Amino acid sequence: MVPATSAPRQRVLTAAREPFFNRGFQKVSTDELVKAAAISKAMLYRHFGGIDDLLRVIIEAEVDGFERAIPGEVSQPSDFVAALEAFGANLLHVLNQPENIRCCS
């Protein structure tokens, strides 16, 4: 379950991310999402035009996270090394987030 203290929009995003990426968009229902986010269907549709819009917002957030890690313009070899180090550190940070780590049992 998603903490009830966060805003409804954020609760939906948090509740939808894991099932969308782990089971696939087609296998996730709005009923499942509203239950996990502890909101009504009306609230879901108020924040997102529909489940397709919700998926788009989640994917855009993922892309934004990776785009922030892309190095800017590099003019010196030392700038290139620094940019690669920064990119690697950011990538490791993203990959080490609990929601991105899936353990096999």
Give the three-state DSSP class for 58.
helix
Render pLDDT for 63-102 as a digit per residue (tens, 0 to 9).
Answer: 887 777 666 677 888 888 888 888 788 778 777 777 666 6
CA-to-CA distance for 78 and 92, rounded, in angstroms? 21
- pTM for the structure as a whole: 0.62
Give the sign of the dihedral formed by CA 40, CA 41, CA 47, CA 53.
Answer: positive
Q: What pLDDT is stored for residue 35 in this prediction? A: 93
pLDDT given for residue 54 in this prediction: 94
d(CA 31, CA 2): 15
Query: Mean pLDDT throughout 48-61?
Result: 91
pLDDT at 5: 63
Q: Write phi, then psi, for 55 (nearest 5 degrees).
A: -60, -40
Nearest alpha carbon to residue 47 among 3, 7, 5: 7
Digit-coded pLDDT (tens) for 3-18: 556 788 999 999 998 8
Looking at per-residue confidence, does 80 or 56 come out higher?
56
- pLDDT at residue 27 above 70? yes
DSSP H or E segment with residue 9? helix 8-23
Sign (positive/negative) of CA torsion 11, 17, 66, 98? positive
Question: Hey, what are 61's tokens?
Answer: 């957030």
For residues 85 and 92, what is the distance between their CA atoms, to the nearest angstrom?
11
More confident residue, 105 or 33: 33
